[in-house]
Structure 1
Amino acid sequence: MSEVAKTVEIEGGIVVGHDGSKCAQEALIWAGKLAARADVDLHVVRAWSMTTAPQPASGTAGYVPPLPEWEQAVHDELTAHVGMAGLAPEVRVTCHVAHRPAEQAMMQAAENASLVVMGARGRGGFTGLLLGSVSDKLVHHAPCPVTVVRTGASGKELEAVTGENAAVEA
């Protein structure tokens, strides 16, 4: 049985957290535009547990697939989200999945990152909050700069950050 990844180790570049939510997808698109302009690597991180992972194809009633199959299902779903983001072809993207709490996985990934990008809201149960719990923790404790992308961000915010005059497609 192969080992299931519990760590996320990157060396530089932009790290974006993705939990499958609409906010995470918008953060991925925003981070992809910045990665293209800055010519840096983009690392997409998904933390998971059996309760948050998509069920593997081999899962049937009465049978719980082994953890590596869950990990593969998470990786496949994350890869599909990256594909749907329509990132520029020159963006170098690596998908990472970690079997651990999201806060821990993202904090570890942030250790050597140039920037962490998060959506304002994830799949958590407290819909009235303006900022998700993982994003909030990263804003206060990450060892690198953090950008939180709110739902409906147009990309014009990226112009101000990068100093570009050309319009950024949403």
Structure 2
Amino acid sequence: MKILLPVDGSECALRAVDHLIAHAAWYREVPEIHLLHVHPPIPIGRVQAHVGEDTLKAYYLEESQASLLAAQQKLDAAGRFHTTHIHVGQPAEIIAKMAKDLGCDLIVMGTHGRGAVAGLVMGSVANRLLHSAPCPVMLVR
């Protein structure tokens, strides 16, 4: 079983990591875990005039690694092997694409994260993903 675990460093995302670890026995076989962080793109426009492409890539990498660190530590402490992925783009779109490209059987994620705009009941990323995901989505509050 392949599980995509998108995280943004928020407490809610870390609860999804904890849930997956705590309920690993639900799965017949040891799940193949793909940990994903999607960094929203910085509007390019004038930024490119002042910041080089290499600097921008380094920024995305540094910020993404910081957002992944707590989830990686939790999975490592639980002895759960995982593959880490970092992408830049619109989170819901990238999560759905990664789930499809990796052939994931399940997406496990928090209901809301650090996004500036959130839905009333659940985060806007989770809400959009429910409409575009190629596999079941388990939302953890």
- Using the size of structure 2 for normalisation, the TM-score is 0.76
User: Secondary structure at 2:84's aligned position in 1?
Assistant: strand
Determine which structure has greater relative contact order: mean sequence separation of CA pairs < 8 Å that are 6+ residues apart, divided by chain length.
2
Per the alignment, do residues 35 and 71 of structure 1 end up closer, same or farther by CA in structure 2, a change over 3 Å counting? farther
C-alpha RMSD over aligned residues? 2.4
How many aligned residue pairs are there?
A: 128
1:134 and 2:135 correspond: no
1:88 and 2:78 correspond: yes
State how far apart, in whole Å, the 1-side matches of 2:125 and 2:84 are. Answer: 19
Partner of 1:156: none
State how far apart, in whole Å, the 2-side matches of 1:110 and 1:63 are. Answer: 32
> Could you say which structure has the higher helix fraction?
2
User: Secondary structure at 1:125's aligned position in 2?
Assistant: coil
Partner of 1:125: 116
The higher radius of gyration belongs to 1
State which drifts further: 101-110 or 28-37: 28-37
1:144 and 2:135 correspond: yes
Partner of 2:38: 47
State how far apart, in whole Å, the 2-side matches of 1:49 and 1:126 are. Answer: 13
Question: 1:143 deviation in Å?
Answer: 1.0
Unmatched runs of 5 consecutive residues or more in structure 1: 1-11, 52-61, 151-170
Question: 1:104 deviation in Å?
Answer: 1.4
Partner of 2:47: none
User: Secondary structure at 2:35's aligned position in 1?
Assistant: strand
> Could you say which structure has the higher strand fraction?
2
Question: 1:85 deviation in Å?
Answer: 2.5
Per the alignment, do residues 22 and 143 of structure 1 end up closer, same or farther by CA in structure 2, a change over 3 Å counting? same
State how far apart, in whole Å, the 1-side matches of 2:93 and 2:41 are. Answer: 16
User: Secondary structure at 1:27's aligned position in 2?
Assistant: helix
- Using the size of structure 1 for normalisation, the TM-score is 0.64
> What is the letter of the counterpart of residue 81 of structure 2?
R
User: Secondary structure at 1:137's aligned position in 2?
Assistant: helix
User: Secondary structure at 1:122's aligned position in 2?
Assistant: coil
Write out the 4+ residue segments of structure 1 that deviate beyond 4 Å after TM superposition. Answer: 62-65
Per the alignment, do residues 49 and 72 of structure 1 end up closer, same or farther by CA in structure 2, a change over 3 Å counting? same
